[in-house]
Amino acid sequence: MYLACALTSDASLQSPFTTSWRAAMVPEENFPSLAKLMSFPMKQTTLSFFLPLALSLALAACSSNPYAATNKEYKKKAKAYAKTLRATPVTNPGEDSLMQGDHWVGTTNFNMRKPNYVVIHHTAQNSTEQTLKTFTLPRTQVSAHYVIGRDGKVYHMLSDYLRAWHGGSGKWGNNTDLNSSSIGIELDNNGYEPFAEEQINSLLQVLAILKKTHGIPAANFIGHSDIAPSRKVDPNPTFPWKKLADAGFGIWYDEEAVRNSVFESVIPLFQDSAAAATDSTAMPVPIAVPTATVAVDTIPATFQPKDALRIIGYDVQNLDAATKAFKLHFIQKEVNGILTDDDKKVLYHLYKKSL
């Protein structure tokens, strides 16, 4: 039985104090006294006495967690996984064909596996409530560990030690199962709008907790488009990746070093200096005297952008998609499959950081 959050008049009963309850989403076990109160006929005087109490309990039911039912399902599934972890002796399917030891011996030295990546998404939905609903419907088959609203409210939906279904098919470096090694964070955003300041502030707090708790390397804070460049474009180009990197979450490039980078010139293997000396039309070339010392980083002629993207972590099987994902994260303008000279300078410095 479920109890209602709204009262409706019952035409079959003539007393103005008599009401009927419609089934709603509040489980009976949460309010047993109210359920019993509604389970048998009562006289008008009794109803007039108990009605205020019933109304107050109903209001309390209405203000309770609307996700009580799905929370119960979460606990049920977590309990089932805990039972699996407690099972001894430890076995896998097919182990009965192995030559077993004389006794089962369980080690005393172990702890929980820890996530080693954080993958940041935008929801591409219109509200936090819509996303919470999506992540609590079994048919959607999608979830995340955290959802952060535009208002900065944080919903921690799944234990960091359990596997959320947020990354889908993807790859980063040699890792082809990011769901098993990462924490997924969804930011309430329709996919086009800038990210709210309150939201980013909360995100930075969550990332600080995760980095400290799990020891996640700075380079392992990445975006959904990074791991699935052929399928995904989130978070959108307005996401403040540099701000995160400055706080220790993700990598970025030294902008001054990029500005002072030059490409290695191709120098001719041989020049006839005698012929050049007899050329009376040759004009002397003025020599520029530097007025200040500037550290110049020369990008070698052998630099290969495809190899650089791969070493950073991108799946370059679809080079055009990998290039777009790189520009979405680090350039954040003219997101296409073409690398300009300035883009190549940024790529070169990120490549060197990733070696």
Domain presence at residue 288: no
SS3 210: helix
122 and 219 share a domain?
A: yes
Averaged confidence pLDDT in the chain: 84
Quick: pLDDT tens for 276-295: 445 555 555 555 555 555 67
Domain presence at residue 79: no
122 and 35 share a domain?
A: no
Domain presence at residue 312: yes
Domain holding 172: CATH number? 3.40.80.10
- pLDDT (0 to 100) of residue 291: 56
Rounded to whole angstroms, the Cα distance separating 164 from 186 reads 11
Domain presence at residue 325: yes
Contact 147, 135 (CB under 8 A): yes
DSSP letter string over 223-288? EHHHH-TTT---S-TTS-HHHHHHTTSS----HHHHHTEEEPP---S---HHHHHT-TTPPPPPPP
Whole-structure pTM value: 0.78
- pLDDT (0 to 100) of residue 41: 52
Q: 298 Cβ partners below 8 Å, 6+ apart?
A: 261, 262, 263, 264
121 and 176 share a domain?
A: yes
129 is in which domain, residue-wise?
Answer: 117-223
Domain presence at residue 201: yes
161 and 206 share a domain?
A: yes
Tally the domains of the chain: 3
Q: CA 168, 66, 77, 85: dihedral to nearest 10 degrees? A: 100
Backbone angles phi, psi at 283, to 5 degrees: -95, 140
124 and 214 share a domain?
A: yes
Quick: pLDDT tens for 220-252: 999 999 999 999 999 999 999 999 999 999 999
**How many beta carbons lie within 10 A of that of residue 9, not counting itself?**
10
Domain presence at residue 156: yes
- pLDDT (0 to 100) of residue 21: 36
Angle between helices 305-312 and 319-330 (to 10 degrees): 70
End-of-domain residue from the set 19, 36, 62: 62
Backbone CA torsion sign across 55, 56, 62, 68: negative
Backbone angles phi, psi at 259, to 5 degrees: -65, -35
211 and 303 share a domain?
A: no
Strands, DSSP E only, in the chain? Answer: 2-3, 7-9, 19-21, 26-27, 117-122, 146-148, 154-156, 182-187, 221-223, 261-263, 297-299
Q: Which are the catalytic amino acids?
A: 186
Domain presence at residue 42: yes
Domain presence at residue 313: yes
Low-confidence ranges of the chain (pLDDT < 50): 1-40, 42-43, 267-277
88 secondary structure, DSSP code: S
